[in-house]
Chain A
Amino acid sequence: MQTAPEIGINELRKLIQTISERFDYDFSNYSSASFKRRIQRFIEIKRLGSVENLVNKIISGEIKKNELFTEVSVNVTELFRDPSFWKYLRKVLLEQNFSQNLKIWQIGSSSGEEVFSLMILLNDLNLLSKAEVISVDFNAGIIEKAQSGLIPGKSMELNTSNFIKTGYKGELTNYFTAEGDNFKLNKDLLSKIKFKEINFVKDSFSGSVDIILCRNILIYHNPQMQNDILKKIHQSLNMSGLLILGSRETIEWSEIASKYTMLGPEERIFKKNKV
């Protein structure tokens, strides 16, 4: 058993600065502990030996942006991730009276599972014709994957188990067509999703939106960035709009905390207060 050498603060700063200069992405507001582990892991996998070597190989161009980012950023996702949340969201949507059109942003497309789940739910609630759904991610490669609508067959066991736990009627496979080893989301649902390549933190991006899902993105950031992201979301969300976070993310301790009411005791659905 061996522990990797601890990365010092100065080394870390130097690395973050190099990445920012060479790859135009700022990791300085990432959660520090897990970022350090991702870097350590990368150094081990690539047998680089030290942060210094990593920095040098970024500068020399030997290490490409994509190979580093694929290791450092986390894209894990599932259909109906956190089934109790999807169960509750259905209840909340049923209770809201959506008279006009419904504008929804889903931030962090990853490989599409979350927005696919959303489409299935909207379809089930007969809200599809009213809804405009935009899914954004800053990773162009992963958006392409999401756009294909394909889910690997090997993940279907977990996805199906999640779907059953949501208590929704029907069969998950009714919404998909088998294609080789994969399952493809049916066209009537897939074609309704607008995918956009946007860096939600950096790019200016605003609108008047009714529902914003921002799940499992805050979890990679420190309190300062969490606050910044939430403020940005707040500006784009309509009165009485819904802000939806991952199951261990919250608006508590942020500047917008007092402007929302959490619906229910457990699931992270926050409703923007009327002022």
Chain B
Amino acid sequence: MKEVDLNRKYKAIVIGGSAGSFQVLCKILNKLPEDFSLPIFICCHRLKHIRNGLIEALSIKSIKEVKEPDHNEPIKRGKIYLAPANYHMNIELGNYISLSTEEMVNNSRPAIDITFETCAYVYKDKLIGILLTGANKDGALGMKKVKDYGGMTIIQDPEESVIDTMPKAAMSVTKIDHVMKVEEIIKFLIELNKVTQL
């Protein structure tokens, strides 16, 4: 793996993806250490009205509990939050999550851009944004916000992505700090946990 800045300043991780990202998320969550200390916010495109399938499937694969937050839920260390079907997931100043039902953004609700942008606004340079495989451009502007606020940007290697539209769109609008294969992302998170644990 290339040199990565394993800095203990990081306070949160935000992950987005659509087509093909479900398997990737499963792999990542499956390898995440139980004591992983940063909160992780996941926004993944999904079908309206399929309320529980995704969360259950992800929870089974994950050592840690994956939670679909309720509106105004306080953020806890080391918790994994998945944007619920049909709601945008916003991170708010004051350490809580809000949900909203406004119009779709990039034809999506939840929209990855919204979760990333609100996350960047709150965590500034202490955020790591990871964008996985996907078939549209949602998430690209969100990654730009992460970068603009001084956070770290990572995309899944377009060569490895099932559909590379999403990571490539991010590349075209902002500087990407690291292009990683899934195995490298996992390794990175495990290494990161060793420093943020301290």
Q: Is the CB of B72 within 8 A of A33?
A: no
Q: Is the CB of B102 within 8 A of A249?
A: no
Q: Is the CB of B144 within 8 A of A3?
A: yes
Residue B29 at the A interface, CB < 8 A? no
Residue B168 at the A interface, CB < 8 A? no
Report the minimum CB–CB distance from B42 to chain A (whole Å): 16
Known: A1-B141, A3-B141, A248-B84. A34 touches B71 (CB 8 A): no
Q: Is the CB of B140 within 8 A of A34?
A: no
Q: Mark B136-178, 1 if CB is under 8 A from A, else 0.
A: 0100110011000000000000000000000000000100000
Q: Is the CB of A31 within 8 A of B92?
A: yes
What chain B residues lie within 8 Å of A246 (beta carbons)? 71
Among the 9-residue stretches B4-12, B15-23, B33-41, B93-101, the one with 4 or more Cβ atoms under 8 Å from chain A is B93-101
- A38's nearest neighbour on chain B, judged by CB, is B102
Question: What is the bound-complex CA distance between A3 and B118, given in angstroms?
Answer: 13
Residue A125 at the B interface, CB < 8 A? no
Residue A216 at the B interface, CB < 8 A? yes
Q: Is the CB of B145 within 8 A of A3?
A: yes
- A9's nearest neighbour on chain B, judged by CB, is B93
Among the 9-residue stretches A179-187, A197-205, A218-226, the one with 4 or more Cβ atoms under 8 Å from chain B is A218-226
What chain B residues lie within 8 Å of A171 (beta carbons)? none
What chain A residues lie within 8 Å of B71 (beta carbons)? 31, 218-219, 226, 246, 248-250
What chain B residues lie within 8 Å of A37 (beta carbons)? 102, 114
Known: A74-B101, A253-B74. A31 touches B90 (CB 8 A): yes
Residue A67 at the B interface, CB < 8 A? no
Q: By CB atoms of chain B within 10 A, which of A220, A248, A252 has the most? A: A248
Q: Is the CB of B98 within 8 A of A253?
A: no
Known: A1-B141, A76-B101, A248-B84. A226 touches B72 (CB 8 A): yes
Q: Is the CB of A252 within 8 A of B90?
A: no
Report the minimum CB–CB distance from A87 to chain B (whole Å): 13
Q: Out of A33, A218, A250, which one reaches B90, CB within 8 Å?
A: A33
Q: Out of A32, A38, A74, A219, which one reaches B99, CB within 8 Å?
A: A219
Residues of A in contact, count (CB < 8 Å): 25
**Chain B contact residues, majority secondary structure:** mixed
Residue A95 at the B interface, CB < 8 A? no
Question: What is the bound-complex CA distance between A186 and B92, given in angstroms?
Answer: 44
What chain A residues lie within 8 Å of B131 (beta carbons)? none
A238-252 contacts to B (CB < 8 Å): 246, 248-250, 252
What chain B residues lie within 8 Å of A223 (beta carbons)? 72, 94, 96
Q: Is the CB of A248 within 8 A of B92?
A: no
Residue B188 at the A interface, CB < 8 A? no
Residue B70 at the A interface, CB < 8 A? yes
- B90's nearest neighbour on chain A, judged by CB, is A33
Q: Mark A30-56, 1 if CB is under 8 A from B, else 0.
A: 011110011000000000000000000
Known: A31-B92, A76-B101. A253 touches B141 (CB 8 A): no
Question: What is the bound-complex CA distance between A264 and B118, given in angstroms?
Answer: 33
Known: A248-B84, A253-B73. A219 touches B92 (CB 8 A): no
Residue A6 at the B interface, CB < 8 A? yes
- 29 contacting pairs across A/B (C-beta < 8 A): A1-B141, A1-B173, A3-B141, A3-B144, A31-B90, A31-B98, A31-B100, A32-B98, A33-B91, A33-B100, A33-B114, A33-B118, A34-B90, A34-B98, A34-B102, A37-B102, A74-B101, A74-B102, A76-B101, A216-B101, A219-B100, A222-B92, A226-B71, A248-B68, A248-B69, A249-B71, A250-B70, A250-B71, A253-B74
Contact surface of B with A, Cβ cutoff 8 Å: 51, 68-74, 84, 87-88, 90-94, 96, 98-102, 114, 117-118, 121, 137, 140-141, 144-145, 173
Q: Which 7 A-B pairs have the closest CB atoms?
A: A33-B90, A34-B100, A31-B98, A250-B70, A223-B72, A33-B118, A219-B71
Given A33-B118, A34-B100, A248-B68, 7 extra CB contacts under 8 A:
A1-B141, A3-B117, A3-B141, A33-B121, A219-B101, A223-B72, A250-B71
